[in-house]
Chains A and B, each alone.
Chain A
């Protein structure tokens, strides 16, 4: 054995001596709460998950769709075991280069998949299967109500009875308000106010596959939320132009609507989700974890600019639209309840 090989062997063996004590994640949560209270909570704000029923739009960003308000009957409804593929471009504050993320959600919501980019494991073809415990949303569930895996597409992602949800802008907005006030287990963003939560929820809804008439109604409902300003000619992270709907929003957890604004950019013709920006509206310091320092944010800084580059239905996890093969290595995670 060369010294290099001996060293590899030595590290592997020595690493076995590292003991991992149980309850690590709980300790992490406590520690996070201690140090990062400001930024810890609002996970769901950006959840791009999807909801149910009569599913229509198979949207690819390359396709310039006409402003079709009605259900396209030729478009097949995705089957429960198909996958919703989404790709997002992100530009983040801090001088990092733009990057894209990919996610596959199974239509029935039971699984999701991500590619493995790790050089070490990507060399061999590998499908890693994991299980993940489904947890109650931050708002909690009514006593006795079991956790339920929700479909990944359409209104059923959030609404218990999607067929009862009106598809006119006022009726839909009223239903959204009702839901954020009494989520009954639905994965609703943690916002500072009802309007804030409704705004962020619609942001999530628009990032998913939705019937075209729902998408059109949401587009109009956004402008009806108090505090929302509408700007024409905004540009998303990919340079596409659209209409921006902006409002203070607690993107980084409770209280953060005080210094942050969410700008949702939509295509005015197709109502497709283009992207969003998270913008600092007030000078603000986020304290460092466990240290005396902090990170200073200045008014006007864009923390995140993102663009949804693709949203489409495919037949297999880690398969990209227009391709028949899947990527070599990916992690497939199955949600489990109870």
Chain B
């Protein structure tokens, strides 16, 4: 029962969310939309061809994450450039600034750790669901999450110490 109308509804419902997921992974709004569009075209194709996926949202998300990974593999140089060129956190809200700093730190993590954390803490997926999306064993998901968090913690500590140091150094 794949209808044009049904897909349009699906699109309206999930496009923005997919853009946000893409943004958290890439840090670039334009590239995020590109990923979301690409994921939805692929979802549509699959929907038309063999019928509606069991859970289309999961399907689209999976396409997006995997697409991001393969694009990264293909052009790591470009990706690194994008990493540097992330939007400046020029926001007055102090919490938000902290949040942006933390998010920026996640994006310096290895690709798979980063993806696991986004899926776990933004998309609120279970470990089993993440394993499904990334096509890796559940045990690996756990390991990646643990390592990712540990690494984040270390980098946060380093940042805090840096702050302390610099304030001490101030005349």
Contact = CB atoms under 8 A, between A and B. Distances in A.
Interface in B145-163: 149, 152-153, 156
Given A11-B118, A130-B12, A289-B45, A3 B149 contact: yes
A134 B19 CA distance: 25
A200 B126 CA distance: 41
B80 interface: no
Contacts of A124: none
Nearest to A306: B51
A303 B50 CA distance: 6
B8 interface: yes
Interface string B106-147: 100000000001100111101000000000000000000000
B23 A15 contact: yes
B37 A101 contact: no
A20 B16 contact: yes
A325 B95 CA distance: 43
Main secondary structure of the interface of A (DSSP, over half): mixed
A214 B145 CA distance: 59
A169 B32 CA distance: 54
B44 A36 contact: yes
A252 B46 CA distance: 11
B38 A290 contact: yes
Interface residues of A, number: 63
Contacts of A13: 95-96, 99-100, 103
Interface in B7-50: 7-9, 11-13, 15-16, 19-24, 29, 32-33, 37-38, 40-42, 44-45, 48-50
B124 A120 contact: yes
Contacts of B153: 3
Nearest to B93: A13
Interface residues of B, number: 57
A333 interface: yes
Interface in A72-115: 88, 90, 92-94, 96-97, 99, 101, 103
B12 to A, nearest CB: 7
A304 interface: yes
Interface stretch (A25-33, A153-161, A215-223, A265-273): A25-33
A39 B98 CA distance: 46
Nearest to B32: A18
A18 B122 contact: no
Contact of A18 (B8, B19, B96, B98): B19
A333 B9 contact: yes
Nearest to A335: B5
Nearest to B152: A3
A63 interface: no
Given A4-B121, A119-B124, A333-B9, 7 more contacts: A17-B29, A20-B15, A24-B15, A24-B33, A31-B37, A32-B41, A101-B1
Leading 4 A-B pairs by shortest Cβ distance: A18-B23, A43-B4, A11-B122, A15-B20
